[in-house]
Structure 1
Amino acid sequence: MPDVRERTNEIEVDCVERFMRHATLHNSFLSTVLEQFAHKHPDFKYALFDYYNALRNRTLHPTEYGFKVGNVACCGTGALNGHGCSSTEEPFNLCDDRNEYVFFDGGHTSDRANFQLAELMWRGPKDVTGPHYNVEMLFNL
């Protein structure tokens, strides 16, 4: 996220990398636990959305998803003041077209990114929302 990138120094880089490793381990463990639960309870149906990789892909490859900028926030080209753009001490800039950005501010994705992520949860393929169902499929059971 741009907020983390803005505040990161050499000491914090290791912390961010550990955080990301923990998030990846959590997602893997959650998937395993849900599979085991579904095996024990055949009527249990679920959808698991891979938010981490869906957002990461947009951040690393924004043009593949219709964005121009993936790693800088639309609002707050100066100091990001936490998650918002309402700093009274530091001026901030607002981009001309927020739809070109994956992130609106340092901690929040843009409306366009949110819409894409919601669409993926609703009817995404199995490698993004699965392993057997997306949310639309669950509603139709």
Structure 2
Amino acid sequence: MRCRAALALGLALATGACTNDDPPMPTTCTTTDQAGYERALRAAPGDVRLPGGVPISDCLRRVRTDGQLQELGAVVHRTAETLAGRVRDGGDVAAARELGYLSAAVDAGAGRSNGISAELARRVSVTGTGLRDISPAVARALAAGQAAGADRG
């Protein structure tokens, strides 16, 4: 009987330790399409907000399920790839700033999550690999976007 009581107490404590007091992920994180993310990112290096005033980092911080992560990951990664392509193909400085912001905001949100978003943050970060070498203007834009995304993302 003591063993069962100790086991029940241990499970209750473990379950309580795993709960997250943050509200669930806002629906705008997954209902906003790629064009919506790109529109929001045009505000970088200022405050980038999704519809409803939601910072991108909040989406990553509040992911709770694999399904949410897949939906969010699809749109965020596609957005990052599109921005990186614009930088690679034409040296688009604005796209570099937006990609830097997105990457840092995703990283900031994943860093404050339960770990479920870490792989998405890594994948988004990788999209910017080698872009700094395109030009000094691109390197500055990426850095400015990253600083703003880490600060306000």
Task: Output the TM-score relative to the length of structure 2.
Answer: 0.29
Structure number with the higher helix fraction is 2
Structure number with the higher strand fraction is 1
Task: Output the TM-score relative to the length of structure 1.
Answer: 0.30
